[in-house]
Amino acid sequence: TQMNDTFPKDFLWGGAVAAHQIEGAYDADGKGLSTADVLTAGNRESPRQITQGVLPGQYYPNHEAIDFYHRYKEDIKLFKELGLKAFRTSINWSRIFPNGDDVEPNEAGLKFYDDLFDELLKNGIEPVITLSHFEIPYALYENYGGFKNRKLIDFFVRYAETVMNRYKDKVTYWMTFNEINNQLDTFDELHTWTNSAVLFEEGDNKEEVTVQASLNELIASAKAVKIGKAINPDFQIGCMMAYVPVYPYACHPKDMLASSKMMERRFFYSDVHVRGEIPIYALKRWEREGFDLEYTEEDLLSLKEGTVDYIGFSYYMSTAVTTLDDLDGQPIRDFPEAKVVGNPYLEANDWGWQIDPDGLRYTLNTVYQRYNKPLFIVENGMGAYDTVDSDGKIRDDYRVEYLEAHIKAMHEAIAIDGVDVMGYTPWGVIDIVSFGSGEMEKRYGFIYVDKDNQGNGTLKRRKKESFAWYQKVIEENGLQD
Ligand code: P53
């Protein structure tokens, strides 16, 4: 088939970002501090630090980010020129409930998103909204210890209900928790912090704490889905997963088993979101580990009543695991199941993320076969250093090459395998602060933003060479064969 016969007319070609990575204005108009506001800048070698509150003399890249808060009209003009049909961003929770537990929402925060969504709609761009993308009100950590405390279920539900009500005629596509599975995949404190506002304490069983926080989020998500559907039955409400497929490093049966067990860490979350019940492999594991988890019969009912309409997910890379000792590859990280190792067949970007377009087709197939629900690729892209040539051009053919290969893989999944895909919103449509490293120079955009890792620059926007390429993809509803 011709590629452009494959994509339905209303296929959501778009671009994605998250509030904390673009907006800046971190303390404007009554906004409270969020978990993202206490993250310092890191780089490839040294991780971002989580500080107790905002400390003097530290650089926090998200405080200004790319100042989208004040420049969104100018940026949306460019998005329109690019031809975006959808724009995925998040609502910054602490703009709406500065402390998380406030009784009344902050009107100035609500007003900002009214104006933002109006501006998008006026330009023919459909907003796709994540409720929680690493921006939990900091006070919910300080006063409650984050999502390990089940009081956060109600705070999240109140927030979700408030914004779904307010924007019921402006937003149709919602997602609850961004990349909710990252925390169990890695146990990196950065992820538990940004997913759940939880910091581990002395003596904590990290997995037990993470599972408790995750359960509270899954319950909160299900309650929000149910309420959202009551507010507007036309809402499409999805979950948001990071699908990084884990391949067996060798064809040794133990490696195959290890890879499936590692995939369970990811599927656990979508199994609950989609099927509305806790999978048996999880129950067995918690029992074996002697975890003391708190959830009620009523919670289990909530899970059943709030299953999602679609599965949103990010796809960047794949990894491999092995149980073997005689490795060629270097072990990257140890898990109870196996060691994560480099895949000798794949190349990686400058941050070690292994590029694998076939992995996207594989993921689309596996997930669709597991759930039989519409899928929405809400993040995909390759972080790279860009340079501005002396003629002012940014020749980012590597970006085009990466995206083209992934769009081809998506096309194959749809045209050959019959997978139902709703849309494709590549990550960081405009350059933003990197989540993982806090760098500004790890760029994903079609639109360049003049700012460096130390925060210097004019913030001026400039189209990269990839801009015209993506514009054409959207215009022609797919790549030309
Ligand atoms: P940065 C890990 C694996 C896949 C996606 O990441 C991930 C992560 C976390 O590092 O995060 C998502 O900016 C996330 C975005 C983030 C994007 O991937 O570290 O949803 O907020 O910016 C890219 O290059």
92, 435, 437: residue to mutate for ligand 1 pocket, most atoms within 8 A of CB: 435
Least confident of 149-153, 233-237, 333-337, 451-455: 333-337
Place of tokens 């890695």: 186
Nearest CA to ligand 1 atom 16: 435
Cα–Cα dist 112/124, whole Å: 19
Question: How far apart are alpha carbons 96 and 171 in whole angstroms?
Answer: 17
Helix axes 253-275, 357-371, angle to 10 degrees: 60
**For residues 64-78, average pLDDT:** 98
Q: What is the pLDDT of residues 419-458, one digit of tens each?
A: 999 999 999 999 999 999 999 999 999 999 999 999 999 9
In three-state secondary structure terms, 462 is strand
Express each pLDDT in 371-421 by its tens digit.
999 999 999 999 999 999 999 999 999 999 999 999 999 999 999 999 999
User: What ipTM was reported for this prediction?
Assistant: 0.94
Q: Is the CB of 314 under 6 A from ligand 1?
A: yes
User: 435 CA distance to ligand 1 centroid (A)?
Assistant: 6
Rounded to two decimals, the pTM is: 0.97
Beta-bridge partners for 14: 86
What is the mean predicted confidence (pLDDT) over 353-360? 97
User: Does any ligand 1 atom lie closer than 6 A to the CB of residue 313?
Assistant: no
pLDDT-based confidence at residue 331 (cuts at 50, 70, 90): low
Is the distance from the beta carbon of residue 379 to the nearest atom of ligand 1 less than 6 Å?
A: yes
Tokens coding 312: 């949103």
Domains of the chain: 3-475 (3.20.20.80)
Q: What's the pLDDT band for 188 if we cut at 50, 70, 90?
A: confident
Calculate how far, in angstroms, residue 437's C-alpha sits from the geometric centre of ligand 1: 9
What are the residues whose beta carbons fall under 8 Å from the beta carbon of 320, sequence distance 6 or more?
A: 246, 247, 248, 249, 259, 329, 340, 341, 342, 343
What is the whole-number distance in angstroms between the Cα of residue 202 and the centre of ligand 1? 28
Query: Can you tell me the mean pLDDT for 281-291?
Result: 97
Q: Are 39 and 26 in contact (CB under 8 A)?
A: no
Would the CB of 88 count as within 6 Å of ligand 1? no
Q: Is the CB of 464 under 6 A from ligand 1?
A: no
Tokens of 14: 């778009």
The pLDDT value given to residue 186? 72
379 is catalytic: yes
Query: Active site residue: 23, 126, 179, 379, which one?
Result: 379
For 114, 160, 166, 324, 428, the CA distances from 171, given in Å and listed in that order, are 10, 13, 10, 49, 20
- H helical segments located in 353-479: 357-371, 397-415, 465-475
Quick check: helix, strand or coil at residue 252?
coil
Residue type, 259: S
